[in-house]
Amino acid sequence: MEKLTSSLKNMLLSLALISTVVAGLLAFVYVLTKEPIEQAAKQKQENAIREVTPDFNNNPAEEQFEIEISNGDKLAVFPARQDGKPVGIAVETNTQKGFSGEIKIMVGFDMNGMIKNYSVLKHAETPGLGSKMQEWFSDESKPNQNVINRKWNASMKVKKDGGEIDAITAATISSRAFMDALNRAYEVYLKVKETNSETAE
């Protein structure tokens, strides 16, 4: 077989062929993994909803809707019902104020506005510092850190901002971001409650 001469034309042809093959492989892998990735994300979302709300027997993911908050963002709401009766909501909230960017959290409220639980869905905070938010703010043995089974109020911010919540040690920015995400979720809860009250009248 005759060896191809080294020329710009041959180099470009080789590069084009390699690029085509690589693009084809990437497209194949994307198609192959798209559905499993979507299924895993859906399962993670459903698990988070179940983890943060009172017991329910409806399908909150199928009944989800969005509510616009004061800064124009829209947050997803997942209503939890037991035998048709509302028992709480889960709110998929987020903030861009994290030390390393976006933090996304699922927060659950009962119908009285009590924070039932939360689940951190996504973050890129520093391991061993800001990454502790899942455990730090749910430790019911430490009331100055814990937000679970509490109603949101003006004092639920970190102590450096005049609140009563202990920030994660050496991770004040991450702690402020966490509280910001919770505050956005509570704004949604208030709007849902207001809408339900108007509907009931």
Burial of 115 (0-12, 13-18, 19+ CB in 10 A): buried
Where is pLDDT greater, at 39 or 185? Answer: 185
Question: What mean pLDDT, rounded, does the chain reach?
Answer: 88
- Backbone CA torsion sign across 24, 25, 28, 29: negative
pLDDT-derived band at 2, boundaries 50, 70, 90: low
| Domain range summary for the chain, segments of one domain joined by + | 51-200
Residue linked to tokens 């909803």:
49
Mean pLDDT, rounded, for 170-190: 96
CA distance 178 to 180: 5
CA distance 137 to 126: 16
Residue with tokens 């202990």: 166
The pLDDT score that the predictor gives to residue 201 is 45
- What integer pLDDT is reported at residue 5 of this predicted model? 57
Task: Please say whether the dihedral angle defined by the alpha carbons of residues 62, 68, 72 and 76, taken in this order, is positive or negative.
Answer: negative
Strand pairing category for 85-98 and 114-122:
unpaired
Provide mean pLDDT across the span 100-108: 96
The Cα 80–Cα 200 span in angstroms is 17
Residue 130 and residue 99 in contact, taking contact as beta carbons nearer than 8 Å: yes
pLDDT tens digits, 115-150? 999 999 999 999 999 999 999 999 999 999 999 999
pLDDT number for residue 37 = 65
pLDDT of residue 21: 82
Phi-psi region of 155 (alpha: psi -120 to 50; beta: other; left: phi over 0): alpha
The answer on pLDDT for 1 being more than 70 is no
